[in-house]
């Protein structure tokens, strides 16, 4: 599936939630699931510092496709991190670099990507794209 197909699928999925409670319960559930990154990678090297919560991001390339592993110390941020990873992982650097993330806005969670939130999420998305762009530039 392309990045946009995955985004559209998520938008459709979120449309079933009747209120914010259901939506957040789902995100929290995503956050509670198994650790998304091995504890040994939760180091300074992979840390994206947010004012409110921390995010760790570990990119990797395999057979020309970029894989992301990421995590957060806050559950809601972690749930959102896992959505971002779901959308952006396992694609070519070109596709990631050129992608436009519209699903967060469409599922009504835009405020979590606001710079004033300082939860590390916006910086993570920037890092993911920068990583893909660097790979793309290297060819």
Stretch that binds another protein, among 46-54, 63-71, 94-102, 127-135 (CB under 8 A): 46-54
Q: At what angle do helices 75-88 and 20-32 cross, to 10 degrees?
A: 80
Cα–Cα distance, 24 to 28 (Å, whole number): 6
Q: Which of residues 52-111 bind another protein (CB under 8 A)?
A: 52-54, 73-77
CB atoms within 10 A of CB 135: 18
**Torsion sign over Cα 93, 95, 98, 104:** negative
- Output the smallest distance, CB 75 to another protein, in A: 5
- Output the smallest distance, CB 21 to another protein, in A: 7
- Give catalytic status of residue 51 as yes or no: yes
> Which residues of this protein are in contact with another protein, per CB under 8 A?
20-21, 24-25, 28, 51-54, 73-77, 118-119
């Amino acid at each position: 599936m392309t990045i946009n197909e995955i985004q559209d699928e998520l938008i459709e999925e979120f449309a079933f939630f009747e209120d914010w409670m259901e939506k957040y319960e789902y995100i929290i559930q995503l956050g509670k699931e198994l650790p998304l990154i091995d504890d040994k990678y939760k180091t300074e090297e992979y840390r994206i510092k947010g004012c409110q919560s921390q995010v760790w991001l570990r990119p990797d390339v395999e057979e020309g496709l970029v894989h992301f592993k990421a995590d957060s110390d806050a559950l809601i941020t972690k749930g959102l991190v896992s959505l971002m990873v779901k959308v952006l992982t396992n694609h070519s650097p070109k596709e990631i670099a050129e992608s436009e993330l519209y699903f967060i806005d469409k599922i009504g969670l835009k405020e979590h990507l606001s710079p004033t939130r300082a939860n590390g999420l916006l910086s993570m998305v920037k890092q993911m794209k920068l990583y893909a762009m660097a790979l793309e530039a290297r060819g």
